[in-house]
Structure formats: C-alpha cells, structure tokens
Amino acid sequence: MPPESADSAGSPNGAGVDGRPGRLVLAATPLGQARDASARLLDALATADVIAAEDTRRMRSLAAALGVAVTGRVVSHYDAVETARLPGLLDDIRAGRTVLVVTDAGMPAVSDPGYRIVAAAAAAGLPVTCLPGPSAVTTALVLSGLPSERFCFEGFAPRRDGDRRRWLEPLRTEARAVVFFESPHRLAATLATAVDVLGADRPAAVCRELTKTHEEVLRGPLAELAAWAEEGPVRGEITVVLGGAAPSAAPSVESLVAAVHERVADGERLKDAVSTVAAAAGVPKRDLYNAALARP
C-alpha cells in the first residue's frame, strides 16, 4: 500500500474519495491447525488494505501456511500499542480502506486486543463486521463434558494467590459453567486454590493445546485435577472449565428458630433477630417470625 495522501481522510461515513466503503473486520484465526481457517479468512488476508495483527510474524506465518499472499499494509496491534494505533486505523477506514484485525489464535477481543477498536469504530459510526471461527472458550466448553446451556467467561486467572482467592470466592455459588485461561506454570497453584475455595468435588476440566497435535482434556473433580497438575510439568496453552455450583437447598424455617432465640437472648429485639437470620438464610421473614413465636 502507498503511504496515505492528503485525500485519505475520506468522508465521515467510512467512504473514501473513490466511493469505496471502508470497514473494520475482526477475524478468528486457527488455534493450532491451519486447516481450521475459514475460506472467508483466507480471502480477508489476501484482500485487506491494512492488517492489524497481534504478532505480525505469526500472522505472516499463518498466511504462508495457508498459501495466501498478503498485499496490504501490516501493522502491529498488541496490548501495549492498541490504543495508540486507534486514530490511524480509524482514519484508514474513513479513507475507504478495509482494516482486518487478527490475533495470535482464536477470536479478537476475547482476552486479546480488539474491543477498543470495535468500540471506537462503532462510536464513530464506521462499519464493523466479524468473520466467525475458532475460539478456545467455546471449544473447551464443548469438550469439557459439563452442562453448558449457560456459561460465563472470566478471562485469565489472577497471578497472585490473594487475588486468586478473591476472584474465586464469587464462583462458590455460580450456577453457570465458568471458563478461564491460565498459564501452564501457574495452573497447579490455581487449581489448589480452587480446591480450597470451591471444594474438592467441584467438577472441572483442564483443556491443553486445543486442536493441536498434543491436545489433551482431563476431566474430574478439582482435587484430582490439582493433584495431576502438581505432578507436572504442564506445558502448552491451558483453558479451564468449572462446572456450575450445585444448587443449595434453603434451610427449613424450623431449623433457624434456635439462631433467632440466641440473638434475642443476647439482647436483640425479636423483630431484628428474625430479619437478620431470615435474610442470611433466604427464607421469608413472616414464616420465621411465626415459628419463633410458636417455639418460645
């Protein structure tokens, strides 16, 4: 591509001076097997005016493996430069150019660069589209064998133990399956902490090197997976799936009466004691109040 000329600003609606509309395209790239690339990805790599790649060398290696000749301008687009690249890439779209965003593997913007430029392009009224394809999140979810009608994605697990514990705490009662990424050298520590916080029997799956030659999926209770990871070493890219928490049965109103009377004996008003205990247990206050009156 020649350098931008003075007329490259184009019109504000994303059409260049020649009337050709510009647009932003995000495209999923293979997790490991080049043959997982879609026909639309091949076409986009070959025809995009600008390719914003998380790692330009890996993008060129992928294109070579796919037999695609890249003719557009290639720029780096990793976390540290993503914000700085925005003005220039938006100008390219306004000038009528197609800007293709790809990351090292999987879907851009999913714990990878991408969402900032989508938000900026949308705010500017510029066309945005996506070429769907591989995703470690959905691939791991499918292979986990865990119920997946509802799930949430938690990105990367925190590095420090205290942060990990605070991050895991809300997942005690999370009814949906939970998917997150972890580095191989921190996996054992994260799973051990998960056992402490979520319980040894919480079902889970550790997915390693998805779609690659040495793909491996281990399924079982957290305690078993933590023991496996501790034996180490674990290698490759890791995606973890946690099964949703089993629904806990609400305690019976009768079983809570003693706690109410203990509070009253300590000087708390009956009404206040009932309100506190009922809220913590998730039972109706009126039912607990009546039960407390019936059992003085």
Q: Are residues 51 and 108 in the same domain?
A: yes
Residue 162, number of CB atoms within 10 A of its CB: 9
Instruction: Give the C-alpha separation, 237 to 258, whole Å.
Output: 52
pLDDT, one tens digit per residue, over 169-227 is 999 989 999 999 999 999 999 999 999 999 999 999 999 999 999 999 999 999 999 99
pLDDT, one tens digit per residue, over 239-254 is 999 999 987 766 788 8
Domain that holds residue 174: 137-242
Instruction: Give the C-alpha separation, 122 to 24, whole Å.
Output: 10
Structure tokens at 14: 């994303």
- Of 134, 164, 189, which residue constitutes the final position of a domain? 134
Instruction: Give the C-alpha separation, 42 to 36, whole Å.
Output: 11
Nearest to 137 by CA among 69, 207, 201, 88: 207
247 in a domain, yes or no? no
Query: Would you state the pLDDT for residue 7?
Result: 34
- pLDDT greater than 60 at residue 13: no
248 in a domain, yes or no? no
The residues near 97 (Cβ < 8 Å, ≥ 6 apart) are 16, 22, 49, 50
Cis before 251? omega within 30: no
Phi, psi of 242 (to 5 degrees): -105, 135
10 in a domain, yes or no? yes
pLDDT, one tens digit per residue, over 23-63 is 999 999 999 999 999 999 999 999 999 999 999 999 999 99
Query: Would you state the pLDDT for residue 254?
Result: 87
- Whether residue 109 contacts residue 4, with contact meaning beta carbons closer than 8 Å, is answered with no
pLDDT, one tens digit per residue, over 63-82 is 999 999 999 999 999 999 99
Nearest to 198 by CA among 236, 242, 135: 242
Global confidence as pTM: 0.76
Which H or E run includes 216?
strand 216-221
Q: Are residues 227 and 289 in the same domain?
A: no
267 in a domain, yes or no? yes
If you average pLDDT over residues 155-170, what whole number do you get?
94
Total number of domains constituting the chain: 3
Q: Are residues 121 and 15 in the same domain?
A: yes
Nearest to 140 by CA among 159, 158, 121, 153: 153
- Of 91, 119, 134, which residue constitutes the final position of a domain? 134
Q: Are residues 207 and 266 in the same domain?
A: no
- pLDDT greater than 80 at residue 4: no
29 in a domain, yes or no? yes
- pLDDT greater than 80 at residue 103: yes
If you average pLDDT over residues 271-290, what whole number do you get?
90
Instruction: Give the C-alpha separation, 102 to 41, whole Å.
Output: 10
Q: Are residues 208 and 265 in the same domain?
A: no
Overall residue count recorded for the chain in this entry: 296
How large a percentage of the chain has pLDDT more than 70?
92
Q: Are residues 53 and 105 in the same domain?
A: yes
- Of 114, 134, 154, which residue constitutes the final position of a domain? 134
Instruction: Give the C-alpha separation, 271 to 293, whole Å.
Output: 11
CATH no. for residue 200?
3.30.950.10
Relative to beta strand 98-102, strand 50-53 is parallel
Query: Would you state the pLDDT for residue 280?
Result: 81
CATH no. for residue 109?
3.40.1010.10
pLDDT band at 283 (very low <50, low <70, confident <90, very high): confident
